[in-house]
A and B are shown apart, each in its own frame.
Chain A
Amino acid sequence: MIEIEKVHKSFKDLEVIKGVDLTVQKGEVVSIVGGSGSGKSTLLMCINGLENIQSGSIKVDGTEVHAKGTDINQLRQKIGIVFQQWNAFPHLNVLENVMLAPRKVQGKSRAEAEELAVKQLTHVGLADKLKVFPGKLSGGQQQRMAIARALAMTPDYMLFDEATSALDPQLVGEVLDTMRLLAEDGMTMILVTHEIPFARDVSDRVAFFREGLIHEIGPPDQVIDNPQKPETAAFLKSVV
């Protein structure tokens, strides 16, 4: 369970998150939608401690992310994140990209890590690209590799930060399909996304972010199909 309570986050004088509360249950898929600059991506970065917060608390399975005594590297193994820029390690081939963290962080043997990596890469449809370097892959393939790389740490939670926003339109589908599979497998996921139809399909709840706050949250058939607030309706109209 991820518990976000009264979180405030500022970059210098600019407050981007202004007191967000959100609880995500095990197995739940929550989508976060909203205009750019509304603080959605920053919230994801706070959840795995890549960004600090000014006040409030974020707990993952009861462990406070930003507490002094927390072993953040330990905690991050539970929380996979996939970025907008897929961030493949360019000096390693696909297999090595996925094997690196299981070997170095979890201390798995080469054989163990390879078996795990091959399994995850097969899962995302890259079984024929194991020895290929990222530079030779399409954006969609690199993004699927990034998903496999995060999954190879066997996380309990997956965060997706606009995972399809930097892709060519014809490549978006393959990445969304991979994410859909994951949701169907029961993975707990928080997605920041601009793909409204996709969010409606896979999410248990949708949160509309506006000016650093959750403006409206609820099941997709409410927030997307029948928004209660005029700002939500206006936003949805602008993106469709």
Chain B
Amino acid sequence: MFSTSFTWNDLLFLLQGAWVTLLLTFWSMLLGTFLGVSCGLLRALLPRATIPLGWFLDIFRSVPLLIQFVLFNSLKSIVGLDWSAFTVGCVVLGVYVAAFCTEIVRSGVLSVPQNLRLASRSLGMTYWQDLRYVVIPLATRVAFPGWLNLSLSAMKDTALVMWIGIIELLRASQAIVTRIQEPLLVLCIAGLIYYLISLVVSRLGAQVEKRWQQND
């Protein structure tokens, strides 16, 4: 049956798209955070030795994400990698997230006053103990809001994966728009779903920050 109005099935279709959006966000943030924390620590602790790493990550921060998706997708075909579009989406977005996350982590580590590190070393703590018990806990508090911001922007950036053929929330809404010719209505609903996801994420983040702030 061909309907020209917004039906329950359409909403279901949008929610399926939203689920794909969530999955993409989750996996790319997981990958990006893991890489970003590693690279960020290296950048902060060995600034000289990792200058080339900085240049390399700058590429991913500077080139528009859409270009990265398309280029990597073509490269995949040329090299003959047998990856699904979803995997490509997660990897490209994950590396993009990692490039930003590196800077967030680096600035967090650098925000820990040198004096505190002298204090912990003066108590006989080793370099690693200082890192583990003083630097990382303090850096996490500084980096967390930036990281939360990054995850919200990654969630919205997942919309770009439709260009490599994944049906996520935005692509799903476009399909419906094409059929029922009600762009405003459909985009409002899609926008609302994005908003609700963001709301949950930022509320959870606010809870975490509040717990830390009780100590200040």
Q: Which residues of A contact B (CB under 8 A)?
A: 45, 48, 50, 73-74, 76-77, 79-81, 83, 85, 87, 89-91, 93, 100-101, 104-106, 133, 135, 146, 149-150, 153
Spot the interface stretch: B44-52, B81-89, B132-140, B149-157.
Answer: B132-140
Q: List 19 A-B contacts (CB under 8 A).
A: A45-B118, A50-B118, A73-B125, A74-B124, A76-B124, A85-B115, A87-B118, A89-B119, A89-B120, A90-B138, A91-B137, A91-B215, A93-B215, A100-B123, A106-B124, A133-B216, A135-B215, A146-B119, A150-B123
| Closest B residue by C-beta to A150 | B123
Given A73-B126, A87-B115, A89-B116, 4 extra CB contacts under 8 A? A76-B122, A83-B118, A105-B124, A133-B216
CB contacts (< 8 Å) of A73 on chain B: these are 124-126
Please state if B215 and A76 are interface contacts (CB–CB under 8 Å): no
Chain A residues lying within 8 Å of B119, measured Cβ to Cβ, are 83, 87, 89, 146
On whether the beta carbons of A90 and B115 are closer than 8 Å, the reply is: no
Give the shortest distance, in Å, between A162 (CB) and chain B (any CB): 13
Verify if B141 is at the interface (C-beta below 8 Å from A): yes
Given contacts A90-B138, A90-B215, A90-B216, A105 and B123 within 8 Å (CB-CB): yes
Check B74 for interface membership: any CB of A closer than 8 A. no
Q: Once bound together, how far apart are the Cα atoms of A13 and B21, in whole Å?
A: 58
The answer to whether A50 and B122 touch across the interface, beta carbons within 8 angstroms, is: yes
| B141 closest partner in A (C-beta) | A91
Q: Type the 1/0 row for B104-144, where 1 means its CB is closer than 8 Å to any CB of A.
A: 00000000010110111111111001000110011001000
CA distance A104 to B141 in the complex (A): 22
Is there an interface contact between A101 and B124, defined as CB atoms closer than 8 Å?
Answer: yes
Encoded as 1 (CB less than 8 Å from any A CB) or 0, chain B from 191 to 216 comes to 00000000000000000000010011
In this complex, which of B120, B124, B126, B134 has the most chain A Cβ atoms within 10 angstroms of its Cβ? B124
**Cα distance A93–B197 in the bound complex, in angstroms:** 35
Q: Which residues of B contact A (CB under 8 A)?
A: 113, 115-116, 118-126, 129, 133-134, 137-138, 141, 212, 215-216
Most B Cβ at <10 Å: residue of A74, A91, A106, A150: A91
Contact of A89 among B126, B134, B141 (CB under 8 A): B134
Contacts of A100 on B, CB cut-off 8 Å? 120, 123, 133
Pairwise interchain contact B137-A76, C-beta atoms closer than 8 A: no
A52–B160 alpha-carbon span in the complex (Å): 54
Contact B123 A76 (CB under 8 A): yes
CA–CA, A104 to B120, complex, Å?
Answer: 11
Q: How far is the CA of A34 from the CA of B118 in the complex (A)?
A: 24
A42 to chain B minimum Cβ distance, whole angstroms, is 13
User: Which of B115, B133, B212, B216 meets A104, CB within 8 Å?
Assistant: B133
A87-B115, A89-B134, A101-B125 known; A133-B215 Cβ under 8 A: yes
If A83-B115, A85-B115, A90-B215 touch, whether A105 touches B122 (CB-CB below 8 Å) is no
A150 CA to B120 CA in the complex, in Å?
10
B120 proximity list for chain A (CB < 8 A): 89, 100-101
**Sorted from nearest, which 7 A-B pairs have the closest CB atoms?**
A87-B119, A101-B123, A77-B124, A76-B124, A133-B215, A105-B124, A81-B122
B116 near A135: Cβ-Cβ < 8 Å: no
Most buried by B among A89, A106, A153: A89
- Tell me if B137 and A153 are in contact (CB < 8 A): no
B159 to chain A, nearest CB (A): 37
* Of A50, A85, A90, A93, the contact of B121 (CB 8 Å cutoff): A50
B116 with A105: CB separation less than 8 A: no
